[in-house]
Amino acid sequence: MTHTPRTISILGATGSIGSSTLDLVRRNPQDWRVRALTANGNVEALAKLAREFSAEIAVVADETCLPALRDALAGSGIEAAGGASALVEAAARGADMTIAAIVGCAGLAPTMAAIEQGGLIGLANKEALVSAGPIMTAAVAKHGATLLPVDSEHNAIFQCLQGNKASHVRAITLTASGGPFREWSQAQLEAATPAQAVKHPNWSMGAKISVDSATMFNKGLELIEAHYLFPVGLEKLRIVVHPQSVVHSMVEYRDGSTLAQLGPSDMRVPIASVLAWPERMETPCGPLDLAAIGELTFRAPDEERFPATRLAREAAQAGGAIPAVLNAANEVAVDAFLRGHIGFTRIAADVAHVLESYAPPPPGSLDDVLAVDAEARRRAQGLMPCT
Ligand code: NAD
Ligand code: MG
């Protein structure tokens, strides 16, 4: 069987999701032609990938890194570009498949530019959807794009919804590992360090999402992400702590049947299901050995120690700009925590504080969302100790 390779662009190619995606592309070179690869400022890693995959263009978001990128790509014939607008322009070239794997709201504008070209969008960048939910989903519909969730829980839900009617859904349950501090007391949480927070028991991920996992803001953001991806009603979305991370999420139907998707804790599984959709492809991920795993356990989340899921549910309920405010405040607080400027429990406290002080009207455009994001960041930054 002959087939034409499809074009793929990876926004955030040097990150954890970007690397896992490129690992699958590397194993199936005949299937893909790499168009754009982007990074924030890691020139060396980006240039190496661009050369390995013969990308058309490599882009650094940090414009000051462009001269170094040009040098690193000299003689390769690969275009080099830098800066926020270059990132958007590269995404706007479109591709059969764009993997949105930038971390944070920084990925929103390029993801929207890719959506406006139609095509398939593999969405890992949950902060973009959380910030711009209704605007992004409207753009997807308007431009005939297809949003395929990469996030393991949403990928699981997407798979469990196939062949069923959304109107028959009784509940959607997102599973949460509970993060590295699942069993920690409030006193221990107060003293948690960045090094402890980024050490996730089950998954290997970028620093920001690892901290989000420890605070449970990751699950909070995912609740809002699910609300926009699967609009069955917020009251039908649930969260259950499942420390083994084997069941990636579940959909319960009105007849009492619950469908779940299970698999190893390896992001290449959901990424592969996106890359091959609606088909299936081989991956190097091992089979699921339930006898070796032995036990799967489940329990309700503790919103006293981890208020993030409650804050996120309230933000989703409020809708409009409020999820963008929550997301921006969290990004600033996580950054401050990682730099050692604030303690672990201050993250949720500061997010709550910004949410109390700032309730802008619903955004009508991408620019409105970016303005809300900027103002919420400014307010969150104002809470940080002077350094
Ligand atoms: P990461 O930190 O490993 O990688 C982030 C990528 O984005 C890098 O390529 C980096 O260069 C780029 N980047 C960072 N800041 C940027 C900026 N300001 N402008 C442009 N590019 C920038 O992060 P990750 O763990 O790969 O996560 C990426 C996204 O996927 C996040 O939204 C995360 O929540 C989501 N996600 C990740 C995982 C996982 O297992 N890592 C699972 C589910 C969802
Ligand atoms: Mg997830």
Instruction: Decide: 42 in ligand 1 pocket, CB within 6 A.
Output: yes
Among candidates 201, 207, 213, which has minimal Cα distance to 153? 213
Q: Where in the chain is the domain with CATH 1.10.1740.10?
A: 320-387
Region 57-82: mean pLDDT is: 98
- φ, ψ dihedrals at 245, nearest 5°: 50, 50
Q: Residue 219 C-alpha to ligand 2 middle, in angstroms?
A: 7
Region 86-104: mean pLDDT is: 98
Instruction: Decide: 335 in ligand 1 pocket, CB within 6 A.
Output: no
Reported as a single tens digit per residue, the pLDDT across 159-212 is 999 999 999 999 999 999 999 999 999 999 999 999 999 988 787 799 999 999
Reported as a single tens digit per residue, the pLDDT across 337-383 is 999 999 999 999 999 999 999 999 999 999 999 999 999 999 999 99
Q: Whose CA is nearest to atom 39 of ligand 1?
A: 205
Q: Where in the chain is the domain with CATH 3.40.50.720?
A: 6-150
Reported as a single tens digit per residue, the pLDDT across 327-344 is 999 999 999 999 999 999
Give the ranges where the chain is alpha helix by DSSP (H).
16-27, 43-52, 66-73, 84-91, 108-115, 126-143, 152-161, 186-190, 194-197, 207-215, 217-229, 268-276, 290-293, 308-318, 322-338, 346-357, 366-383
Cα separation, 335 vs 219, whole angstroms: 18
Assign domain 320-387 one CATH number from 3.40.50.970, 1.10.3720.10, 3.60.140.10, 1.10.1740.10.
1.10.1740.10
Mutation test residue for ligand 1: of 46, 49, 209, 265, the one with most atoms within 8 Å of CB = 209
Q: Which atom of ligand 1 is nearest to the CA of 110?
A: 20
Q: Whose CA is nearest to atom 30 of ligand 1?
A: 124
Contact 317, 234 (CB under 8 A): yes
> Has residue 2 got a pLDDT over 60?
no
Q: Residue 253 C-alpha to ligand 1 middle, in angstroms?
A: 33
Instruction: Decide: 210 in ligand 1 pocket, CB within 6 A.
Output: no
> Has residue 387 got a pLDDT over 70?
no
> Has residue 1 got a pLDDT over 70?
no
Fold (CATH) for 6-150: Rossmann fold (3.40.50)
pLDDT band at 14 (very low <50, low <70, confident <90, very high): very high
Instruction: Decide: 172 in ligand 1 pocket, CB within 6 A.
Output: no
